[in-house]
Chains A and B, each alone.
Chain A
């Protein structure tokens, strides 16, 4: 069965950095685009970033552009999110999510990880 397991969350000071990981199993990871979606405490869902199945294209929300970097290692079935210059407003649960499209972008998220909490606070 498909599993996505995030790790790397924690407490970080404003201006600090953190790298999140998402370990994938149960499907051909190298054939699917992957997303990061976040949810601030008590708030709704916000899309953060997308990477194409082969890593050739990456897209970001304006709120994180220039500060966050999405990447993947298909040999390790792992998705990453490098977060730099963190701000209080980046505090959220971060989910990795699988796009439904096989080597295509369809923008529906059929599997999600359990989420990892990032808290930006001094």
Chain B
């Protein structure tokens, strides 16, 4: 199985900050990577698929890049509603689908 490792596990930031979250795959996954946002008590929400394609309705302050084993999610200017937990997920090798352990973005 492909292991997905996110860093950091948690990060504190302020409204307006630029934040970057990293996701590393244990083997190459080309561009088959998605990012999800999850708020407490809610279902995950798809933000980005195919490593860099923004899901419909997702604000343009979210962006992602990478291919192979290393990927980043960037939020260019944090808004209050962005404080949540973010998960990466590989879509290259199946079964199984695998997720990163999550990065909790907290208010500083």
Contacts and interface: CB of A to CB of B under 8 A. Distances in A.
A105 B55 CA distance: 17
A33 B34 CA distance: 17
Interface in B11-65: 32, 34, 36, 38, 42-46, 49-50, 55
Interface residues of B, number: 24
A50 interface: yes
A95 B43 contact: yes
B44 to A, nearest CB: 6
A113 B99 contact: no
A59 B44 contact: no
A113 B43 contact: yes
What bracket does the count of chain A residues touching chain B fall in?
20 to 34
B102 A44 contact: yes
A47 B96 contact: yes
Q: Interface SS of chain A: helix, strand, loop or mixed?
A: strand
B97 interface: yes
A45 interface: yes
A110 B55 contact: yes
B105 interface: no
Interface of A: 35, 37, 44-47, 50, 59-62, 95, 100, 105-110, 112-115
- The list of the 6 closest CB pairs from A to B, nearest first, reads A107-B91, A112-B43, A47-B97, A59-B95, A108-B49, A45-B99
6 contacts: A59-B94, A95-B43, A107-B89, A108-B34, A108-B46, A114-B43
